[in-house]
Amino acid sequence: MISITQFRDDAVALLESHWPRVRPEGEFRWGAGSDDVAIFGDRPAESELVELARSRAWQAIKFDNGFGWIHGPEQYGGRGLPVEYTAAYREVEMGFQVPDQIFFGVGQGMVAPTILAEGSEELRRRYLRDIYRGDLMACQLFSEPSAGSDLANVSAPAIRDGDGWVVSGQKVWTSGAQYSDIGLLLAKSDRSVPNHQALTMFLLDMHAEGVDVRPLRQMTGAAHFNEVFLENVRIPDTHRLGAPGEGWRVTRTTLMNERASLGPTGSNAALGYMSLDRLSGLVRHFGRGGDAAVRDELAQIAILGRVADLTTRRFVAQTPAGGIPGPEMSACKLLRTELVARTVALVTRILGPALAADTGDWGTYAWATYVLGAPGMRIGGGTDEIMRNILAERVLALPRQT
């Protein structure tokens, strides 16, 4: 097996041949470059498609050079290395001005791991390589208007019809549906049994007849999420994940991987240490470095970020390649949302009215998109309340909430 030192050197060589480094001197400079710190992208649709094309082209280059699915099984296109090599590559890549990688978060972080764990051999060979190479984009079709985070109450019916299924209904808050090729769909396949036994998971062709994707406008003015309407959409039984009625178990596989993908080692630098650099610059720019309360808040954010990062790395490293992350990942998700909440509190304290009115001062009003996107972090991947219940019941073995 290649040494991690040689692996890093090879990654640097590939990246240097395609992209300039980020801030060659390694220090953040106030007023230099973009001041965008949005949690969720707020690009116009046309700009988003341009960036998506750049991202997919880079993903293909990465994959073809052995950096697209580093810890994946070799028989499905992965490189078969330990997960710490994936973390090492991400650290190296953050030092270069690569295209935005957030487009692949759902497909590679949630959908593909579920296919690997629950899909047939045919589905694994058909989809996994293409998802990790960026040839195929994927989304997640779980939430519904009347269910929200209570996924056991999903009501979109899946009716058996010969060698397939017919699904109708509505899904909501679907990230990336507008450019996805397949979707991981949770539907109710049996109304005669309790909810947790009534669900089945499918892979849906997003280009199939009867699929209608409509954008949802957010507080920031962007349309990162969508609602998806399904009208008598046919799905072959070969695209079922798990047995009929096992959708709840398969869902738990997806959600554990989702929480792992939301950890601080992910690619969205606006939620990680880039925000610490910018926060420090913000404190200095407004002359608040002598304020003991502000210094303490900044220190707490730095400490929490480091703890969240190390905790996520430890839990991910304990998960074997192709395995399912455990309920401990709920702790990582909670750490992440707490990091965002503390960042919002500090930014609000420092900026005051400059957060709500654009004065033209670099690095100030731009934080408004971060603040407005923060509630989504407390909901996506399971609400904070659900995460606490999971930790209480499945990690601490406390009684179920009644």
| Catalytic annotation, residues | 258
Contact criterion met (CB below 8 Å) for 312 and 332: yes
In Å, the largest CA–CA distance within the chain is 72
Structure tokens that stand for 397 in this block? 């073995």
Sign of the Cα torsion 356, 37, 300, 286 reads negative
Structure tokens that stand for 383 in this block? 């609400």
Q: How far apart are CA 22 and CA 269, in angstroms?
A: 12
Q: What angle do CA 201, 202, 204 make, to 5 degrees?
A: 145
User: What's the Rg (C-alpha) of the chain?
Assistant: 21
Name the β-bridge partners of 199.
188
Report how far Cα 279 is from the mean position of its chain's Cα atoms. Answer: 23
Closest among 174, 197, 67, 182 to 114, alpha carbons compared = 182
Q: How far apart are CA 211 and CA 389, in angstroms?
A: 35
Contact criterion met (CB below 8 Å) for 206 and 160: no
Closest among 333, 173, 151, 334 to 260, alpha carbons compared = 333
Residue 205 corresponds to which amino acid? D
Q: How far apart are CA 52 and CA 193, in angstroms?
A: 42
User: Residue 280, Cβ neighbours under 10 Å: how many?
Assistant: 16
Contact criterion met (CB below 8 Å) for 102 and 137: no
